């Protein structure tokens, strides 16, 4: 499809407006000692675009990045040195689970579950989060009849 | 909505593709300078804005992302609606002007209304068709109307997947247009089905079922479970029925009429076939009082399909696959006689003695049929002077068409040799024959109904060697 091809080939949205939106989260996160530079904001958006491409998904805004930052900024396992890369990893895991669960879980619910597992049973390990805890979650979700998305 | 015909513009030969009308219109506008890059970008941005709104609707506000395939499908659905609105204009230039002077969201909403209106109209048309279904034993026809189409209407989604035509509609039309998608495809399908049904309803159920039985026998299929177009089968036989002088609603064509037809065509240059078929169609339309212009046009599309098949079949001597010949309802088709299953001489003599002791023809016939299992023994009995007068008739009455066709081939050997498959046995005359049973057979033949003779002829000619030899 021509319009989506054009959109996807340009890497999606990477405008100054979107970068400033990500930087806008600094107001909330700086009290936890986490602040993104413009370069890091750009890196996160680029990583998110690559994740979307890798997982074959499309998103027309950057709400997931902002939600992820605002939920995870108080985690004891995120520090300022790997803040940007951890957010990028979490965003990638998020889209992976969306696909694996066949969209059976909403954005907010998934981010909340990820935060809980990341802080508790995974103790800050994104590998454990993806390969152990969320792998189990997706299996359960796939067996679930509670399909919230539009039924095709 | 454009139904598949490509529009050639007056300004140049750019083709506006009907199944991607909006996008192709933008390309065209760009080519002729009626749409600049800024305008195209505006349209693109507006499309993505509509898509974003629909993604939120689709996920019920719970997700901001979707699989690309799903998003693409929604975008195609948006374009389906804009296509519906923009293709109303007869000239692409007018559609372009409309596109430039109205925002895309407005055009989309107008298009969506048209699509929904089309769903309603098509559903109404469906109800009419369902209420007037043909009384015909075709499984695919009934499941398409009773199951597939209701399923389509129950699940069709003009907002998120307007372009989808996912159904299990198996019944094939004569002229389907599979280039069209979504509800507009279903609409054209039902409009054509309504026309085909209208035509098919001009024939009696009995004659249709009889033709289909014969059709099934020709192709060795259970016609009830086979996918084929009823309209085509009826139209074909009706055309050839007219050509041999029957009325258009008479679907029966006998083997002898079939031979006449072949003679008629074989005597003509191939270039004349077409005009002969056209004449028949004109008569057919008049005979059947077909006044609907749409149905009239639909019928007139058929020669382009029929002619290549007909010419090929005529050339390869398999016209019986195109024109379905009339034959009797299924008789016991299993032949009574096995080759080589002959009686021993002593047993045969004993049986003949028993036959002579029987008091009437029916008893003799029963004895013969229970003891004789080969054609050679059967002929030997006929020639053993153990049957008299009406006793032959009693015996012949117990035979099926297939057995009678074998006897007919023996009795009418000379006629078949000289006349070949063009010879009609219907008018057999009294003639000098070697054996009494043969004379009795000719007399028996003369008393048969024309339908019975047609059926026996069918067996004779359907296995007649192509070199004209009457050997079996």
- B45 dihedral zone (left: phi>0; alpha: psi -120 to 50; beta): alpha
Question: Where along chain B do its domains lie?
Answer: 7-112, 117-200, 205-321, 345-462
Q: Per-residue confidence at B466, pLDDT binned at 50, 70, 90?
A: very low
pLDDT on residue B3: 37
Q: What percent of chain B has pLDDT over 90?
A: 44
Which of A6, A109, A150 lies nearest to residue B58, judging by beta carbons? A150
Model pTM score: 0.70
Q: Per-residue confidence at B424, pLDDT binned at 50, 70, 90?
A: low
**In whole angstroms, how large is the CA radius of gyration of chain B?**
33
Query: In the predicted model, is pLDDT for residue A24 greater than 90?
Result: yes
Judged by CB atoms closer than 8 Å, whether chains meet at B65 and A150 is answered as no
Query: In the predicted model, is pLDDT for residue B8 greater than 60?
Result: no
Q: Chain A within 8 Å of B166 (Cβ-Cβ)?
A: no
User: Does residue A149 fall inside a structural domain?
Assistant: no
Exposure string for A122-131, b = 16+ CB within 10 A, e = fewer? beeebebbbe
* DSSP track, A103-133: T-S-HHHHHHHHHHHHHTTTTT-HHHIIIII
Give the span between the Cα atoms of B42 and B100, in whole angstroms.
Answer: 10
pLDDT on residue B462: 62
d(CA B160, nearest CA chain A) in Å: 9
- Kindly report which listed range (A145-149, B141-145, B463-467) carries the lowest average pLDDT score: B463-467
Q: Which one, of B236, B241, B264, B242, lies nearest residue B252 by Cα? A: B241
pLDDT per residue as tens digits for the range B237-283: 999 999 999 999 999 999 889 988 888 888 788 888 999 999 999 99
Give the span between the Cα atoms of B194 and B128, in whole angstroms.
Answer: 9
Judged by CB atoms closer than 8 Å, whether chains meet at B59 and A3 is answered as no
Query: In the predicted model, is pLDDT for residue B44 greater than 60?
Result: yes
Which residue from B minimizes the CA distance to A96?
B67
Partners of A95 on chain B (C-beta within 8 Å) are 65
d(CA A107, nearest CA chain B) in Å: 5
d(CA A27, nearest CA chain B) in Å: 23
* Cβ B277 vs Cβ B303: under 8 Å: yes
pLDDT on residue A54: 94
Query: In the predicted model, is pLDDT for residue B76 greater than 60?
Result: yes
Give the span between the Cα atoms of B260 and B239, in whole angstroms.
Answer: 15
- DSSP H helical ranges for chain A: 2-9, 16-23, 26-29, 38-55, 63-72, 83-100, 107-119, 126-128, 134-143
Apex B27 CA angle, B78 and B65, nearest 5: 35
Structure tokens at B142: 């009934």
Which of B51, B60, B65 lies nearest to residue A148, judging by beta carbons? B60
Q: Which residue has the higher pLDDT, B15 or B92?
A: B92
Residue B91 CA to chain centroid, in angstroms?
A: 38
d(CA B237, nearest CA chain A) in Å: 45
Q: Which one, of B83, B99, B92, lies nearest residue B179 by Cα? A: B83
Query: In the predicted model, is pLDDT for residue A17 greater than 50?
Result: yes
Q: Per-residue confidence at B299, pLDDT binned at 50, 70, 90?
A: very high
User: Does residue A109 fall inside a structural domain?
Assistant: yes
pLDDT on residue B266: 84
Residue B191 CA to chain centroid, in angstroms?
A: 18
Best B63, B75, B162 residue to mutate vs chain A (most A CBs within 10 Å): B63
Give the span between the Cα atoms of B104 and A18, in whole angstroms.
Answer: 24
What SS3 string covers B223-251?
HHHCCCCHHHHHHHHHHHHHHCCCCCCCC
Q: Chain B within 8 Å of A17 (Cβ-Cβ)?
A: no
pLDDT per residue as tens digits for the range B365-409: 888 888 888 888 888 899 888 998 889 988 998 888 888 888 887
* Cβ A140 vs Cβ A101: under 8 Å: no
Q: Chain B within 8 Å of A116 (Cβ-Cβ)?
A: no
Q: Which residue has the higher pLDDT, B146 or A3?
A: B146
User: Mean pLDDT across the stretch A37-43?
Assistant: 95
pLDDT per residue as tens digits for the range B425-449: 655 565 667 788 988 888 888 888 8
pLDDT on residue B330: 45
Which residue from A minimizes the CA distance to B67?
A57
Tell me what the pLDDT averaged over chain B comes to: 85
Q: CB contacts < 8 Å between A and B, how many?
A: 72
d(CA A60, nearest CA chain B) in Å: 6
Judged by CB atoms closer than 8 Å, whether chains meet at B59 and A99 is answered as no
Query: In the predicted model, is pLDDT for residue A86 greater than 60?
Result: yes
Tell me what the pLDDT averaged over chain A comes to: 87
User: Does residue A76 fall inside a structural domain?
Assistant: yes
How many C-alpha atoms does B135 have within 13 Å on its Cβ side?
6
Total of domains in chain A: 1
SS3 B388: coil
Specify which residues A57 forms β-bridges with. B67
Judged by CB atoms closer than 8 Å, whether chains meet at A98 and B161 is answered as no
Query: In the predicted model, is pLDDT for residue B187 greater than 70?
Result: yes
User: Does residue A48 fall inside a structural domain?
Assistant: yes
Q: Is B335 exposed, middle or buried (0-12, 13-18, 19+ CB in 10 A)?
A: middle
Query: In the predicted model, is pLDDT for residue B12 greater than 80?
Result: no
Provide the domain limits for residue A116. 2-143
User: Mean pLDDT across the stretch B163-187?
Assistant: 92
* Cβ A130 vs Cβ A104: under 8 Å: no
User: Does residue A151 fall inside a structural domain?
Assistant: no
Q: Chain B within 8 Å of A112 (Cβ-Cβ)?
A: no
Query: In the predicted model, is pLDDT for residue B20 greater than 90?
Result: no
Which of A58, A108, A109 lies nearest to residue B65, judging by beta carbons? A58
Per-range mean pLDDT, top range of B222-226, B284-288, B376-380:
B284-288
User: Does residue A139 fall inside a structural domain?
Assistant: yes
Q: Calculate the alpha carbon distances from B45 to A11, B40, B279, B288 in Å.
A: 15, 9, 58, 57
Q: Per-residue confidence at B335, pLDDT binned at 50, 70, 90?
A: low
* Cβ B31 vs Cβ B87: under 8 Å: no
Q: Which residue has the higher pLDDT, B383 or A6?
A: B383
Q: Which one, of B281, B319, B323, B327, lies nearest residue B300 by Cα? A: B281
Q: Chain A within 8 Å of B252 (Cβ-Cβ)?
A: no
Q: Which residue has the higher pLDDT, B373 or B111?
A: B111
Partners of A149 on chain B (C-beta within 8 Å) are 58-60, 62-63
Query: In the predicted model, is pLDDT for residue B327 greater than 80?
Result: no
- Kindly report which listed range (A15-19, B82-86, B294-298) carries the lowest average pLDDT score: A15-19
Partners of B77 on chain A (C-beta within 8 Å) are none
**Which residues 70-109 on chain A approach chain B with CB closer than 8 angstroms?**
95, 98-99, 103, 106-109
Largest CA distance in chain A: 45
Query: In the predicted model, is pLDDT for residue A152 greater than 90?
Result: no
Q: Per-residue confidence at B316, pLDDT binned at 50, 70, 90?
A: confident
- DSSP H helical ranges for B87-131: 92-101, 104-131
pLDDT on residue B164: 92
Q: Calculate the alpha carbon distances from B47 to B41, B104, B107, B115, B450 in Å.
A: 10, 7, 11, 18, 72
pLDDT on residue B176: 93
The complex scores an ipTM of 0.86
**Which residues 31-60 on chain B approach chain A with CB closer than 8 angstroms?**
44, 47-48, 51-52, 55, 57-60
* Cβ B108 vs Cβ B50: under 8 Å: yes
Q: Per-residue confidence at B38, pLDDT binned at 50, 70, 90?
A: confident
Which of B59, B64, B76 lies nearest to residue A1, judging by beta carbons? B76
Give the span between the Cα atoms of B382 and B394, in whole angstroms.
Answer: 12
User: Does residue A62 fall inside a structural domain?
Assistant: yes
User: Mean pLDDT across the stretch A69-87?
Assistant: 96
Q: Which one, of B236, B113, B140, B121, lies nearest residue B190 by Cα? A: B121
Which residue from B minimizes the CA distance to A48?
B65
User: Does residue A39 fall inside a structural domain?
Assistant: yes
Place of tokens 């076939």: B273
Q: Per-residue confidence at B10, pLDDT binned at 50, 70, 90?
A: very low
Q: Per-residue confidence at B334, pLDDT binned at 50, 70, 90?
A: low
**Which residues 80-109 on chain B approach chain A with CB closer than 8 angstroms?**
none
pLDDT per residue as tens digits for the range B137-155: 999 999 999 999 999 999 9
pLDDT on residue A3: 58
Q: Calculate the alpha carbon distances from B54 to B5, B71, B75, B83 in Å.
A: 30, 9, 9, 18
DSSP letter (8 states) at residue B16: E
Judged by CB atoms closer than 8 Å, whether chains meet at B64 and A56 is answered as no
pLDDT on residue A1: 47
pLDDT on residue A48: 95
């Amino acid at each position: 499809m021509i319009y989506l091809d054009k959109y996807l080939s340009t890497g999606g949205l990477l405008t100054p407006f979107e970068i400033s939106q990500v930087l806008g989260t600094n107001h909330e996160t700086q009290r936890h000692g986490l602040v993104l530079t413009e370069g890091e904001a750009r890196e996160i958006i680029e990583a998110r675009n690559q994740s979307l491409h890798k997982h074959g998904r499309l998103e027309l805004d950057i709400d997931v990045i902002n939600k992820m930052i605002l939920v995870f900024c108080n985690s004891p396992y995120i520090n300022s040195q790997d803040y940007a890369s951890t957010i990028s990893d979490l965003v990638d895991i998020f889209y992976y689970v969306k696909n694996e669960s066949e969209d059976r879980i909403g954005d907010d619910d998934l981010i909340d579950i990820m935060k809980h597992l990341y802080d508790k049973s995974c103790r800050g390990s994104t590998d454990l989060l993806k390969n152990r805890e969320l792998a189990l979650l997706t299996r359960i979700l796939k067996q679930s009849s509670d399909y919230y998305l539009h039924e095709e | 909505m454009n139904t598949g015909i490509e529009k050639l513009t007056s300004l140049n030969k750019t083709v506006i593709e009907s199944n991607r009308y909006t996008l192709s219109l933008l390309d065209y506008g760009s080519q002729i300078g009626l749409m600049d890059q800024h305008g195209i970008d505006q349209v693109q941005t507006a499309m993505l804005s509509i898509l974003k709104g629909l993604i939120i609707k689709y996920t019920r506000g719970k997700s901001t992302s979707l699989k690309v395939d799903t998003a693409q499908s929604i975008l195609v659905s948006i374009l389906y609606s804009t296509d519906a609105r923009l293709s109303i204009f007869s000239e692409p230039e007018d559609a372009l002007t409309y596109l430039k002077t109205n925002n895309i969201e407005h055009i989309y909403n107008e298009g969506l209304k048209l699509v929904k209106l089309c769903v309603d109209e098509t559903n109404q048309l469906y109800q009419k068709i369902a209420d007037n279904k043909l009384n015909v034993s075709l499984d695919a026809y009934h499941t398409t109307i009773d199951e597939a189409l209701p399923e389509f209407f129950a699940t069709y989604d003009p907002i998120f997947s307007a372009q989808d035509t996912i159904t299990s509609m198996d019944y094939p039309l004569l002229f389907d247009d599979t280039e069209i998608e979504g509800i507009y495809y279903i609409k054209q399908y039902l409009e054509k089905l309504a026309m085909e049904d209208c035509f098919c309803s001009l024939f009696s159920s009995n004659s249709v079922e009889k033709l289909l039985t014969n059709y099934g026998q020709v192709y060795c299929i259970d016609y009830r479970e086979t996918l084929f177009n009823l309209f085509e089968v009826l139209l074909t036989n009706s055309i050839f029925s007219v050509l041999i002088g029957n009325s258009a609603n008479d679907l029966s064509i006998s083997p002898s009429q079939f031979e006449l037809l072949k003679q008629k065509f074989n005597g003509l240059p191939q270039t004349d076939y077409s005009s002969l078929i056209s004449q028949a169609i004109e008569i057919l339309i008049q005979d059947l009082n077909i006044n609907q212009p749409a149905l009239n046009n639909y019928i007139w599309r058929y020669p382009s399909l029929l002619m290549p098949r007909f010419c090929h079949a005529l050339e390869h001597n398999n016209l019986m696959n195109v024109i379905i010949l009339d034959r009797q309802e299924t008789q016991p088709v299993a032949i009574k006689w096995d080759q080589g299953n002959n009686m021993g001489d002593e047993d045969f003599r004993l049986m003949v003695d028993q036959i002579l002791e029987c008091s009437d023809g029916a008893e003799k016939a029963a004895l013969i049929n229970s003891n004789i299992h080969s054609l050679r023994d059967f002929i030997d009995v006929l020639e053993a002077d153990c049957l008299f007068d009406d006793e032959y008739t009693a015996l012949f009455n117990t035979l099926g068409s297939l057995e009678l066709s074998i006897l007919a081939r023996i009795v009418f050997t000379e006629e078949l040799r000289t006349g070949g498959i063009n010879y009609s046995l219907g008018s057999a005359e009294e003639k000098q024959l070697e054996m009494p049973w043969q004379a009795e057979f000719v007399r028996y033949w003369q008393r048969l109904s024309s339908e019975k003779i047609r059926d026996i002829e069918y067996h004779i000619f359907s296995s007649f060697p192509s070199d004209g030899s009457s050997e079996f």
